[in-house]
Structure 1
Amino acid sequence: GKLFLLDIGGGSLEVASGIDEEPDTAVSLPLGAGRLTAGWLPGDPADTADVKALRRHVRAQIARTVGEFSRFGRPDHVVATSKTFKQLARIAGAPGSGFGLYVQRTLSRKALEEWVPRLAAMTVAERSALPGVSEGRAAQLLAGALVAEGAMDLFGVEELEICPWALREGVILRRLDHLPDEL
């Protein structure tokens, strides 16, 4: 069936949709969690006005791309990759890594919307104490949550599945596809 993919990296948000390996449409937006944290959220905890301004910016950027995807119809399956989505799912109650790589993990928009104000009120140290949140990524979790929330809302995603693989594994698989058959 038709797959819709979201991936929040440090520098960009990747959105793709299609049926096969090559997407019908794909966009890359400068909405990475690291980039947005550095440029928009200097406070610890984040200033309420900064959070509101970033939310407006994120939603405006994403809204410009929704039409490109809506012409392909509703997806059959919505998937998210990246540490940001894994951490958001984890704090929203998804099983931890100790349950294995292939245990199904999901993130609902409702749970995410409940967590965003809580994350906004927390310091980086408080975020790093949350289950599944690494100390090195705690600072950018709020920006990532705002991007995830905006994307899920504007693309009409109620729930998505967390893919245990990300870009690195995709690069490896692509490379394996192109190796000579003799190996």
Structure 2
Amino acid sequence: MSDWKTGLRLVEMLDGDGAIDDKGMKKLTEAVAEAADLVDKLGCQEMIPFATSAVRSATNSEAVLDHVEKETGVRLEILSGEEEANLTFLAARRWYGWSAGRITNLDIGGGSLEMSTGLDEHPQIAVSLDLGAGRLTHEWFDTDPPERKKINTLRDYIDAELARPAADFKAIGVEGLAVGTSKTFRTLARLTGAAPSSAGPYVQRTLTAPGLRQLISFISRMTAADRAELEGISSDRSHQIVAGALVAEASMRALGLEKLEICPWALREGVILRRLDKGTGIE
């Protein structure tokens, strides 16, 4: 088994017209080429190449896909926001099982926030909003640490974006198991006292609303460099964790959630599980 990751932060490389700039296209192409080379070296039988929010929302997405394919031979498939939410929900369902009952899942990526809820493997509601930690940091914060006024204005913006989907969720009920997936939620949980990743995936980790509010008050006054010194946060996440925390707090508040269970599986596992299901005839 091999695990390889590289951070691209493409959403921070969108120009004024919403297009991925030359630097972003170069980084994406190099990452895909490296992944394809690793597939060959490891003797993998299949590659599942997909792109999410940053490419999905880019005004030059087709040109980006064409360039990557021309240079690497790999054609990325863009997942819609709803597909991303569905697949992440599937991963959470498979991790917790049927006995969990209704699952309400939140996932904060670099470019978007996915929200889903349901009793089955397919959520009753699955939505995607452009409220990713990297996107909001890039669009809203121009000082380090961010200005208090900007933080308060961003809070109001997030609340407004969440109002309608939150009402839809509440209309069918969000009681049951509340789950947070993605590196942002794992980092927030770690910063509020959850066990480190070295403790393994089966240790229960939670994120509480009071703990999150206290954390925001603390980290929002720190520079990115100082936040990077905190145990549990990587240097490539420290600059965007304030925006991520604001989205987490606002989404939990909008849905009336006081605690989230942190699920070690997320979109990647959902994509793999769906592919395995298709291979066995399960849809």
1:136 matches 2:236:
yes
TM-score normalised per structure 2? 0.63
Which is strand-richer, 1 or 2? 1
Counterpart residue identity of residue 105, structure 2: L
SS at match of 1:178: helix
Where has structure 1 moved over 3 Å in runs of 4 or more?
A: none
SS at match of 1:65: helix
CA deviation digits over 1:119-177, x for unaligned, max 9? 11000011111111010011110000000000111110000100001100110011001
Measured after TM superposition, the shift of residue 116 of structure 1 is: 0.6
Measured after TM superposition, the shift of residue 74 of structure 1 is: 3.2
Q: Which residue of 1 aligns with 2:190?
A: 90
User: Matched residue pairs, number?
Assistant: 181
Q: Distance in 1 between matches of 2:200 and 2:184?
A: 18
Q: Return 5+ residue gaps in structure 1 as ranges.
A: none
Q: Which residue of 2 aligns with 1:149?
A: 249
Measured after TM superposition, the shift of residue 75 of structure 1 is: 2.3
Q: Distance in 2 between matches of 1:111 and 1:67?
A: 25
SS at match of 1:115: helix
User: Structure 2 residue aligned with 1:38, among 110, 116, 138?
Assistant: 138
CA deviation digits over 1:87-131, x for unaligned, max 9? 000000000011111100000000001011111100001111111
* Bigger relative contact order (CA 8 A; separation at least 6): 1
Query: What root-mean-square deviation, in Å, do the aligned CA atoms of Structure 1 and Structure 2 show?
Result: 0.9
SS at match of 2:211: helix
Q: Distance in 1 between matches of 2:247 and 2:146?
A: 15
**Equivalent residue runs for 1:56-135 within 5 Å:** 56-135=156-235
Contact 2:117/2:174 (CA < 8 Å) preserved in 1?
no
Q: Which residue of 2 aligns with 1:7?
A: 107
SS at match of 1:23: coil
Which is helix-richer, 1 or 2? 2
Q: Which range moves more in the overlay, 61-70 or 156-165?
A: 61-70
Contact 2:108/2:114 (CA < 8 Å) preserved in 1?
yes
CA deviation digits over 1:6-53, x for unaligned, max 9? 000011000000011111011111100000000001110111111111
Counterpart residue identity of residue 22, structure 1: H
Q: Distance in 1 between matches of 2:121 and 2:186?
A: 23
Contact 2:103/2:177 (CA < 8 Å) preserved in 1?
yes
SS at match of 1:137: helix
Q: Return 5+ residue gaps in structure 2 as ranges.
A: 1-100
SS at match of 2:240: helix
TM-score normalised per structure 1? 0.96
SS at match of 2:201: coil
Counterpart residue identity of residue 171, structure 1: V
SS at match of 2:235: coil
Q: Distance in 2 between matches of 1:2 and 1:104?
A: 19
Measured after TM superposition, the shift of residue 180 of structure 1 is: 4.0
Q: Distance in 2 between matches of 1:132 and 1:7?
A: 19
Q: Distance in 2 between matches of 1:112 and 1:60?
A: 20
Q: Which residue of 1 aligns with 2:270?
A: 170
Q: Distance in 2 between matches of 1:88 and 1:180?
A: 37
Q: Which range moves more in the overlay, 60-69 or 154-163?
A: 60-69
Q: Distance in 2 between matches of 1:158 and 1:5?
A: 13
